[in-house]
Structure 1
């Protein structure tokens, strides 16, 4: 198993130099030199003697400096880890480094775009050594032991044993030129990780023109200022000790419950770029910003989200149309915009990506309009609302896993959508190919938000509000399953009608629909032309159509292969035959409309077992696998955070073979129903058909850990149902 810690490390590993350079030796001395206060640390507290491994020392460093137009960003990590069992030995026997370091974020400084050039990495170094129980140290020759595999650098650590200490560092330096302003990628993490930590130290070093947003949460230590010899230089540290390991669990948001910290560093050379920066900057570089007020939110966004845009195309669409009310008008406008500014270009995007035709967008006119981001959408849609004299509020929200809006610190964590103040409020956000009116991220549901509004022609008011929460009935997965057995009892035929609405259909839409399944639907609905119909020359039209048809056929074949594997995995069957799939309804014009598709297949020697002259049918498996809680999961202490309330409803129709009766249907009747959720099932026989219905419900998106035992009740009932069987008794 490759070392898990590397998920959080950022390294592009270079093997170009031979031997150790002066810079490499300098980096090595920084971590392992005379000033290393942890070079002899090897003791483990008694409370952690039974752990797989313990991190004796963890050190992280972030340095931000400038010289002229150049900016240098250095990040480094060191860990000293004692391995206490064979599992840890295996875990740390191989390091795998990927290009996980991202360039600093390029931020649009309104109205002028940021322009800066990223240079080659000026230094990326790794050091690894093993300390044996007798004190002997073995330094790994990283270059010699490195192997390049699929774009990754793998380093094997041989002869590791229980009781060894592995001590390693990773150092990376980037330099680039910048005249304007930009923000480095934010860091949001818990103090704890996979193994307990005895001693942890984080260090910052910055200077003028670097602005820091930093805060600690849930009892994590505060960032402390370290005096420096220069007024323009600043150093900070965060120190912690005796940190218990992070235990991963289902439905758990670690940043909400565990000690954690968040920060972002922003670079801005002068006051005018500070004003244009898309960030909540502190007043001065020597101030650590720990929170953001609603007034600061309004100040940052009041001009950026001012209504603006050419809505002439929308006015043309509304010509000669009448609507019952503003709800209907706003809904129609949203779906038309989704098509006019996005889905009508989907074919061109596919053609461009496939290399069928360079720059196919020229067929849509000299200046086709694209809406490319949330800000542009907000400005454009509010311009329409302003023209129609329909009130609105701009919603500023944060996802639940990142904490409350009152803890807002980093602008990148902001989610923006619109609340349209029609008789029944409508929520809309930046569209994708399948987004619907009143659809926004379920992780925003039920959160406190800021609502910004305009008194006249300026966004100048802000107040607190709350987003609604959907119900389990609104987020439904529904499946009707018909099961038939052949005369020889050697093969089953299964056909399903699958329907999804609300948040349950979001992933299914992208998984199941090809672009042809929805762009043609939109062309028909709005009376617009397909890409091929934009092409005037017959020769070009024929050529592009042939290439596009061939591409579509390939995509259909790949989809069928993928869906066959999905169905085999879901029903746990092998080598299915006669697989079919068909879209019935796309469900793209309303969150409460169903995406519906059918599937059918045949499978041999599955769900049926012979028992003398009779047969056992594993009827419960047709609702597919359910959550099977481990003993560890049953003793949960964390609160339960789920994406959204939801329901899973199944109807099984089993055609009873002639000459047989069914025994054991009483075991198919269950009812667990409490305030957290439910599992309810029923069974009955009508003529020669067994009908089984099941309903599994998650009633809320959050439960305190005190309600966990109630959730366990219906989770166990659903899992137990998958083991239920009926007997086909020969008459």
Structure 2
């Protein structure tokens, strides 16, 4: 079965089933009341599709008795297979038969199993039910079952059923569900059903033309039921660079359990006024009411005061930025080594930091503490509440987990500050909320009380988010390989992922210790004997991690370039952690054997274009696009290749390396010049926008194709 579909189903339905036996469950789906048991035909318009979903049914049931809560979920699909690709897609299922429930508070983990049913209906109407228990085979992470004799024209009908009982005496939020109405195949009929009762609060809404959820129970009953019904749903292609929830018919919901008003107030959700109301929208006032009670200037800022008083800042902006970086270390990176040694069972380290050390774990802790600092310095500020573009507009906010919260210090030039990772920079906000509307909670005398407004968040350009690489390439003396030295600099959002990929904790914690004069973890150990023991164990762990890091770097580089490399070495030059305009930079050395270079008599063909890395190749299926194009942020890539031509040789074919395609969507420009024995090739590629309408797809294709064709170009190293 398709891995993507499988993961979706199993992440959704891998929960406990105890209360109903398998016969009762099968009757629920395939029994006398199954109105689709005879459905075998599909519309003529979909006869050339790979498969058609005749019926898709999802069920959600939330009930409680005393401290016991029961959550039931299920999905059923009846799919007609119209080509061999679909047969292959559904010829294998993988699943977890047994697992543990982790819901609730103070609840002992329970071992249990899923209930799964699969049957195949042949074109003549004959049915074959799969004996899942007998035919499934054990795998490393669960079980797998192969569906034999599956053929084009067959119908496969399957269900996953899960019942999960747990205990909760407080409040509990079930994971949100946000999904498009359409499937990767057309859907003829779809039904979603909800059942809830008192103490269960439902946020549910449909978007972009999806049908509404309708109540099917008596409004006065404490047992409530709802359903959403849709028919004739076209398939979704889900192409690259697409945010489905921003554009296609979809629905979002979350259910929150809260036993009383006290727990309702603590719930991390925009709850409806009462359980009988399904909340469809979240207003600006709802946002203000929710966060007003959660944000308050609080925390011991004595360490920050000591940091500030010993320094002379040129402006409030500089002070805010420097305090942000100090806060990142004081309440985050200072403890990274401690978490590492604890995880490795080397020692329990936290007692070394004194009584109740403070380590920030979430946005609210960070913001409240930083508010206390801003209040102390009498700097005006706002709390920004945003949602990523892939969720749609802030006006369509429904689920609290979809918010990103920042603090905005209103200095002469405002400074935006987000909850930190080891790499976050002041002034640099999450790329997915750049250039969007957001809510700003106004602060008055240090408390969020006096209102809320809509603001436009800053944007960045492809020139802000740039990667620059200088590549020095030369041939080995015997022409058996190409030696490469690469110097990389990444700026703006282009450094975010690269920092996370290429740095381990030992690449930055020492930098912070040195910058702020704090004491490394093992220096806090007083016992000389213990200190020596822990140091040896910690050094061994770091050496092991460095070996792993080296292996990961090499694999990452090979994935980037598309061919194998040898003897890879990497040196971090600048971590890029203290300013959005500071580069994350590093140097690499590696050798390329059995690639890039091919002999042609006394000459050599050099695939120099591949040194800029693999480029997007748009296949025939993607050439025509109906969906709009969404990017995380504008960005650019600048490559300079300097190739030393071997003595006694010259270079031919440079004209093919000169390309220029630029338009409103982006561009690719490359040039090649030869000066003595130095061949210099420059390539510059950029994506200009956050969003491009599908009407401009042909313009994007033009520069994407130019970049891809560049990687296919070769030059001839010609004997003089």
Per the normalisation by structure 1, the TM-score is 0.95
Which residue of 380, 396, 402 maps to 1:413? 402
Distance 1:22 1:592, change over 3 A: closer
Indicate the residue corresponding to 2:393 in structure 1.
Answer: 404
Q: Is the 8 A contact 1:685 1:691 kept in 2?
A: yes
526, 540, 548: which is aligned to 2:516? 526
In the comparison of the two structures, how many residue pairs are matched?
Answer: 717
| CA distance in structure 1 between the partners assigned to 2:661 and 2:91 by the alignment | 47
Kept in 2, the 8 Å contact 1:118–1:177? The answer is no
Partner of 1:7: 7
CA contact (8 A) 2:672 2:681 kept: yes
Instruction: Measure how far apart 1:151 and its partner are.
Output: 2.3
Residue aligned with 1:439, SS = coil
Decide whether the 8 Å contact of 1:124 with 1:170 is kept in 2. yes
User: Residue 286 of structure 1 aligns to a residue in which SS?
Assistant: coil
How many Å apart are 1:248 and its aligned residue? 2.1
Residue 99 (structure 1) shift: 7.9
Residues 1:104 and 1:453: Cα distance change in structure 2 (over 3 Å): farther
Cα displacement (A) at 1:589: 0.7
How much does 1:288 deviate?
1.3
Q: Tell me, in whole angstroms, the C-alpha distance in 2 between the residues paired with 1:649 and 1:322.
A: 38
Determine which of 52, 55, 59 is the counterpart of 2:53: 55
Indicate which of 163, 166, 170 corresponds to 2:153. Answer: 163
Residue 337, structure 1, aligned to residue 335, structure 2: no
What does residue 139 of structure 2 align with?
A: 149
Q: Is it true that 1:133 corresponds to 2:117 in the alignment?
A: no
CA distance in 1, matches of 2:285, 2:304: 34
Partner of residue 710 from structure 1, selected from 690, 695, 699: 699
CA displacement at 1:704 relative to structure 2: 1.2
Cα contact 2:352–2:524 (8 A) shared by 1: yes
Q: Equivalent of 1:261, from 251, 263, 266?
A: 251
Question: More displaced, 161-170 or 462-471?
Answer: 161-170
In the other structure, the counterpart of 1:301 is 291
Q: Which moved more, 1:1-10 or 1:646-655?
A: 1-10
1:53 CA displacement: 1.3
Q: Tell me, in whole angstroms, the C-alpha distance in 2 between the residues paired with 1:372 and 1:216.
A: 33
* Cα distance in 1 between the residues matched to 2:668 and 2:327: 41
Q: 2:443 maps to what in 1? A: 454
SS in 2 for 1:562: helix
Alpha-carbon separation, structure 2, partners of 1:187 and 1:623: 40
1:291 pairs with 2:281: yes
- Could you tell me which residue of structure 1 aligns to residue 676 of structure 2? 687
TM-superposed CA distance for 1:121, in Å, is: 6.9
The match for 1:627 is 616
1 CA distance for matches of 2:8 and 2:345? 36
Aligned counterpart for 2:43 among listed residues 42, 45, 55: 45
Partner of 2:34: 36
Residue 588 (structure 1) aligned with residue 577 (structure 2): yes
User: CA separation of 1:447/1:99 partners in 2, compared to 1, >3 Å: closer, same or farther?
Assistant: farther
Q: 2 CA distance for matches of 1:473 and 1:526?
A: 32
- 2: CA distance between counterparts of 1:94 and 1:682? 50
Deviations 1:407-429 (A, max 9, x none): 01111111101111111111111
Q: Is the partner of 1:89 in helix, strand or coil?
A: helix
Q: From 62, 66, 74, give the equivalent of 1:76.
A: 74
2:417 equivalent to 1:428: yes
Shift of 1:87: 1.7
Q: Which runs of 5+ in 2 are unaligned?
A: none
Cα distance in 1 for residues equivalent to 2:664 and 2:84: 44
* Equivalences for residues 475-490 of structure 1 within 5 A: 475-490=465-480
> How far apart are the structure 1 equivalents of 2:14 and 2:103?
17
Q: Is the 8 A contact 2:484 2:590 kept in 1?
A: yes
Displacement of 1:674: 1.5
Aligned to 2:653: 664
C-alpha distance in 1 between matches for 2:50 and 2:548:
43
Aligned to 1:640: 629
Tell me which moved more, 212-221 or 563-572.
Answer: 563-572
2: distance between equivalents of 1:624 and 1:323?
43
The one-character-per-residue Cα deviations of 1:414-461 (angstroms, maximum 9, x if unpaired) are 110111111111111111111111222111111100000122243121
Equivalent of 1:189 in 168, 172, 179: 179
SS of the equivalent of 1:442 reads coil
**Partner of 1:66 in structure 2?**
64
Instruction: Give secondary structure in 1 for the equivalent of 2:289.
Output: helix
1:625: Cα distance to partner?
1.2
Matched with 1:361 is 350
Pairing partner for 2:548 from 558, 567, 577: 558
Residue in structure 2 matched with residue 89 of structure 1 by the alignment: 87
Cα distance between partner residues in 2 of 1:157 and 1:365 = 60
Displacement of 1:255 in angstroms is 0.8
Q: Distance in 2 between matches of 1:75 and 1:182?
A: 17
Equivalent residue, structure 2, for 1:232: 222
The alpha carbon displacement at 1:96 in A equals: 0.9
User: 2: CA distance between counterparts of 1:610 and 1:3?
Assistant: 42
| Local SS of the residue matching 1:465 | strand
Deviation at 1:714, TM superposition (A): 1.0
With normalisation by structure 2, the TM-score equals 0.96
Cα deviation for residue 276 of structure 1 reads 2.7
Aligned partners of 1:118, 1:449: CA distance in 2, in Å?
41
CA displacement 1:443-499 (0-9 Å, x = unmatched): 111110000012224312110001111111111111111111123322211111111
Match of 1:673 in 2: 662
Q: CA deviation at 1:551?
A: 1.1
Contact persistence 1:122–1:174 (CA under 8 A): no
Residue pair 1:104, 1:183 contacting (<8 A) in 2 also: no
CA–CA distance in 2 between the matches of 1:578 and 1:12?
Answer: 44
1:218 aligned onto 2:208: yes
1:598 shift after superposition: 0.9
